[in-house]
Chain A
């Protein structure tokens, strides 16, 4: 019996597009579910393929898809719409309908702004993270291709600073205002109740929560999936250095689609090139756990085939 290490509760699978992130995340989740961990697989890639990999339908709400196994595909558009609706409803309680009508235009603009999709995914992300332990023991994230995910994961740090700055600025304006209404009782009263600071602080707390988890090596781990080719290697190296800059722990590397010796003559030349890249990978990423998955005769699809790969993923949780 091989010793197993304590696996963090949040595992992220990432890497360049087409390297097999979904397959790895899916089979890893299956493996952990088989070991008795209540596992939730979450796809944050706007182009979802989790359902295709498992061969079952998975929606934007968490659904049970197997023994100890749940899955969800985060739908950015749906989350953004829900968020807007909530704001509009809240606004109706506070201001007149005429103003709400006017503000609708602004909401539309924000909805189409570049950060909206990430914002929506990130919100859902935090909501899901709060479900840890109720009842899930493990969350496996099948993320979008590298660039997108890195932006998402570094969001709390960047926005946290921004929010703090906003709070400081607001404090300054408020203090000035307070000084100016020293002799004006009505305005003074109006300043007492300040929802802006409350909203900003709540936001900042959410970022803090996510950041706390993302930077804790005992809680979270990032696993890169790559192929033995030049571009994925370079991209992975860059991504790792960025994650390290933001102190997000990197746990391991999965080399997917490694051409096996018995592939035959046709692949001989390709395999020789691959040897070089493999050596390169083991050298560059020597400080991480490395697992290699062979190129199979067919593509991996459906629960039973994922199950076959699941055993190979076991190396990731060995001591």
Chain B
């Protein structure tokens, strides 16, 4: 009778939907962008670590390479992509520039 009042449940679900949408929106606009920069940095850091661990495979002598083989079981899957990436580094400046979103 008269104006149907919004029940408490409906109110909540409306608010939740709003929150969800707003969350997704702000994630896309602010967070994802920022996180992808951090993540790129993290991947670079991991690539450098791989270089310290397995530089032997690229022909750079490494005093500890024998012991680092113990890590191979855990890193085996990443080894091949890493080798490809590290051997294909043509222009490091461009790589860095891309990271800072100059495009």
How would residues 60 to 103 of chain B score, 1 for a CB under 8 Å from any chain A CB and 0 otherwise?
A: 01111111011111111101100000000000000000000000
B57 sits at the interface (CB 8 A): yes
Whole-angstrom distance between the Cβ of B59 and the nearest chain A Cβ: 9
In the complex, the answer to whether A87 meets B70 with C-beta atoms within 8 Å is yes
Check B42–A158 contact: CB distance below 8 A: no
Say yes or no: is A152 at the interface (Cβ < 8 Å to chain B): no
Q: Does B39 contact A (CB under 8 A)?
A: yes
Q: Does the CB pair A107–B73 fall under 8 Å?
A: no
Q: Given that A176-B42, A180-B35 are contacting pairs, would A107 and B72 also be in contact in the complex, using a CB cutoff of 8 Å?
A: yes
CB contact under 8 A between A95 and B66, given known A114-B61, A180-B39:
no
> A interface vs B, CB < 8 Å?
80, 83-84, 87, 90-91, 93-95, 99-100, 102-103, 106-107, 109-110, 113-116, 118-120, 158-159, 162-163, 165-166, 169-170, 172-173, 176-177, 179-184, 195-196, 199-200, 203
A-contacting 9-mer, from B2-10, B11-19, B48-56: B48-56
Q: Using Cβ atoms and an 8 Å threshold, which residues of chain A touch B77?
A: 95, 99
Chain A residues whose C-beta falls within 8 Å of the C-beta of B54 in the assembled complex: 106
* Nearest chain B CB to A194 CB, angstrom units: 9
Of A103, A165, A181, A200, chain B has the most CB atoms within 10 Å of the CB of: A103
B20 on the A face (CB < 8 A):
no
Contact A113 B65 (CB under 8 A): yes
B46 on interface, CB distance cutoff 8 Å: yes
CB-based contact B49/A166 at 8 Å: yes
Could you give 10 example pairs across A and B, Cβ below 8 Å?
A: A80-B66, A83-B69, A100-B76, A110-B66, A115-B62, A166-B53, A173-B46, A177-B46, A183-B31, A199-B74
Additional A-B contacts beyond A94-B76, A110-B65 (19; CB < 8 A): A91-B72, A99-B77, A100-B76, A102-B80, A113-B66, A115-B66, A119-B67, A159-B64, A162-B63, A162-B64, A163-B64, A166-B52, A169-B52, A173-B42, A173-B49, A176-B41, A176-B42, A177-B46, A184-B35
**Is there an interface contact between B69 and A173, defined as CB atoms closer than 8 Å?**
no
Interface size on B, residues (CB 8 A): 35
- Chain A residues with CB under 8 Å of B71's CB are 196, 199-200
Contacts of B79 in A (CB 8 A): 103, 106
B27 sits at the interface (CB 8 A) = yes
Which secondary structure dominates chain B's binding surface?
helix
Q: In the complex the two chains form, is B56's CB within 8 Å of A109's CB?
A: yes
User: A107 touching B69 by the CB < 8 A rule?
Assistant: yes
* Chain B min CB distance to A261 (Å): 50
Check if A110 sits within 8 Å of B63, measured CB to CB.
no
State the CA gap A202–B35 with chains docked (Å).
33
B73 touches A95 (CB 8 A): yes
Q: How close is A200's CB to chain B, nearest CB, in angstroms?
A: 8
Instruction: Considering the complex, give the chain B residue whose CB is closest to the CB of A120.
Output: B66
Beta-carbon contact of A158 and B63 below 8 Å? yes
Is the Cβ of B65 less than 8 Å from the Cβ of A91? Answer: no
* B residues near A158, Cβ cutoff 8 Å: 63
Taking CB atoms, residues of chain B closer than 8 Å to A173 are 42, 45-46, 48-49
Whether the Cβ atoms of A94 and B74 lie closer than 8 Å is: yes
